[in-house]
């Protein structure tokens, strides 16, 4: 199994790809807005160029979404590693056990110092900082995609409506041509049968006028048909672009929801590990310090985060993400229903005697 690249390098790559997508998205949006502007090149040449850039943009968008999903799951894996390290603190080291032979108070004091001096807290704070940065990137992507989708969809609707009116005009033109040709044929059949020579010449002039009008309408109908076919071709391309934007909005939604639930998990782990009543400990996590994940932090401040509800919501969020990104979904646990955080396990502060002294 390949080793996942570090979070920071992945995040930097995602930021660079986001900038590229913003520039290409602006080009695609401009193509839709300026579809009916004067164009000196052939429709085929324009379509080939735009199709290549639109498809590249769609592919880049899918790649960025996959990279964002990988970043979300990278943080999830890092959280699992921190949780596993916390479990290792539940036992006493050999040195602590030896100290307990002479003084149980000293044994528990050594244990307390080791737990509190461990880098786990700093790792959790780093995870929250990374979560905040990733949430900012996902939210900015979602905001720009929604705005671009709105503009592109509006332009597409306009082009589709114009083509619909064009198709109606083509149908009217065909009916008019059929009527004119029928009249010309009837007039031709009357020449030489009724009236005198002057009357025949008049009917011939009428026949020629009817045919000329029919031919003019035929030429216009041909132009309208070419324009309709051109529009139909570009409409397919623009529709694929709009659909990709809509899909990306959904991807951002599920990733952001999972990320926020995962942040709650990190905060619960922090709360279980840290005596938040100690001066300076709870203040290290404030909405002002992590503005893009402020919502779960406000719940943390109010003591409203509960592990029991987290497991169900996290499982639901993982299923939603798996539906969008099956390649990045975590495999099912070997023991179905195993809790992510044991709700029956109380924090160190309540379960260990040394923290009550």
Q: What is the mean pLDDT of residues 99-119?
A: 78
Determine the average pLDDT of the residues in 61-90. Answer: 87
Burial of 91 per CB tally in 10 Å (0-12, 13-18, 19+): exposed
Crossing angle of helices 7-33 and 197-273, in 10° steps, is: 160
d(CA 212, CA 203): 14
**Average pLDDT, stretch 19-26?**
95
Q: pLDDT at position 235, please?
A: 93
Condensed to tens digits (0 to 9), the pLDDT of residues 191-246 reads 666 666 777 677 778 878 878 887 888 788 888 888 888 889 999 999 999 999 99
End-to-end CA distance of the chain: 48
As a whole number, mean pLDDT of residues 44-64 equals 95
**What is the token pair recorded at 92?**
């006493």
Q: State pLDDT tens for residues 131-184.
A: 999 999 999 999 999 999 999 999 999 999 988 888 888 888 888 888 877 877
Angle at 266 between CA 89 and CA 348, to 5 degrees: 35
* Confidence label for 275 from pLDDT (cuts 50, 70 and 90): low
């Amino acid at each position: 199994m390949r080793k996942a690249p570090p979070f920071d390098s992945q995040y930097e790559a995602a930021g660079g790809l986001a900038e590229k997508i913003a520039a290409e998205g602006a080009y695609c949006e401009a193509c839709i807005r300026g579809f009916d502007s004067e164009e000196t090149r052939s429709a085929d040449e324009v379509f080939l160029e735009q199709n290549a850039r639109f498809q590249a943009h769609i592919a880049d968008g899918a790649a960025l979404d996959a990279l964002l999903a990988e970043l979300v799951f990278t943080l999830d894996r890092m959280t699992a590693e921190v949780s596993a390290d916390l479990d290792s603190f539940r036992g006493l080291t050999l040195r602590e056990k030896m100290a307990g032979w002479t003084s149980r108070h000293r044994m528990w004091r050594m244990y307390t110092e080791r737990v509190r001096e461990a880098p786990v807290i700093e790792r959790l704070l780093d995870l929250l900082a990374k979560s905040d940065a990733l949430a900012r990137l996902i939210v900015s992507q979602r905001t720009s995609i929604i705005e671009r989708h709105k503009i592109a969809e509006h332009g597409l609707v306009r082009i589709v409506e114009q083509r619909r009116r064009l198709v109606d005009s083509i149908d009217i033109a065909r009916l008019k041509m059929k009527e004119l040709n029928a009249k010309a044929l009837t007039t031709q059949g009357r020449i030489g049968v009724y009236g005198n020579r002057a009357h025949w010449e008049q009917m011939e002039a009428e026949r020629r006028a009817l045919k000329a009008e029919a031919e003019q309408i035929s030429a216009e109908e041909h132009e309208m048909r070419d324009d309709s076919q051109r529009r139909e071709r570009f409409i397919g391309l623009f529709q694929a672009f709009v659909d990709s934007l809509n899909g990306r909005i959904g991807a951002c939604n599920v990733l952001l929801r999972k990320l926020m639930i995962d942040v709650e998990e990190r905060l619960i782990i922090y709360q279980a590990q840290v005596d938040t009543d100690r001066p300076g400990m709870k203040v290290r996590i404030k909405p002002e310090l992590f503005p893009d994940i402020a919502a779960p932090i406000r719940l943390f401040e109010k003591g409203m985060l509960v592990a029991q509800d987290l497991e169900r919501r996290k499982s639901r969020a993982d299923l939603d993400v798996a539906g969008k990104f099956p390649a990045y979904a975590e495999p099912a646990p070997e023991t179905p229903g195993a809790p992510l955080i044991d709700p029956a396990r109380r924090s160190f502060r309540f379960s260990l005697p040394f923290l009550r002294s």
